[in-house]
Amino acid sequence: MAEPNPLPWPSLNTAIAAVFGYPVKLHDNFSKTDDPSERIIIQRKLLVALHELRLSLFELPAEVSVKLDGTNVARDSRGTIYGRRQGIEETAVNYCGAPLEAVRAVDVSKVFTT
């Protein structure tokens, strides 16, 4: 029996909302108010939020993956393959109807650096 994936990933919609939701909300609030003091407060918060967003997108380390055949599959630096919520048995040939041959052929050493 496969073990649960220790790091299940959220859906894309959740990730997009988490990354862009707060700056968008601040922008919307800024455009809805005419109060100059409120606009200054929102503007300062927006500048901080955009700075943090820039750091998150361009300065912090990131992990990448390729989605094959519409199936949520990932492979770590040890070669273990995971579905979105569970590990995939080493002997498995397919996962959710998608062949795992291409996933096993990936040279993860070219993706992962220490």
Q: Which tokens is 27 given?
A: 């922008």
> Does residue 2 belong to any structural domain of this protein?
no
Question: 79 and 52, same structural domain?
Answer: no
Domain residue limits at 19: 12-58
Our measurement of the distance from residue 32's CA atom to the centroid of its chain's CA atoms, rounded to an integer in Å, reads 31
Domain count across the chain: 2
The Cα–Cα gap between 72 and 55 comes to: 27
Question: 17 and 51, same structural domain?
Answer: yes
Question: 54 and 83, same structural domain?
Answer: no
DSSP3 helix / strand / coil % (the chain, rounded to 5): 45, 15, 40
Question: Which of the two residues, 87 and 70, has the higher pLDDT score?
Answer: 87
Q: What is the pLDDT of residues 24-57, one digit of tens each?
A: 999 999 999 999 999 999 999 999 999 988 888 8
Question: 86 and 49, same structural domain?
Answer: no
The Cα–Cα gap between 104 and 108 comes to: 9
Question: 54 and 78, same structural domain?
Answer: no
The Cα–Cα gap between 5 and 74 comes to: 10
| pLDDT surpasses 60 at 70 | yes
> Does residue 20 belong to any structural domain of this protein?
yes
Q: Which tokens is 83 given?
A: 């579905």
| pLDDT surpasses 70 at 63 | no
| pLDDT surpasses 70 at 65 | no
pLDDT at site 25: 92
Whole-prediction pTM: 0.47
Question: 81 and 51, same structural domain?
Answer: no
Question: 40 and 77, same structural domain?
Answer: no
Whether the CB-CB separation of 9 and 84 falls below 8 Å is answered with yes
The Cα–Cα gap between 23 and 52 comes to: 10
> Does residue 86 belong to any structural domain of this protein?
yes
> Does residue 27 belong to any structural domain of this protein?
yes
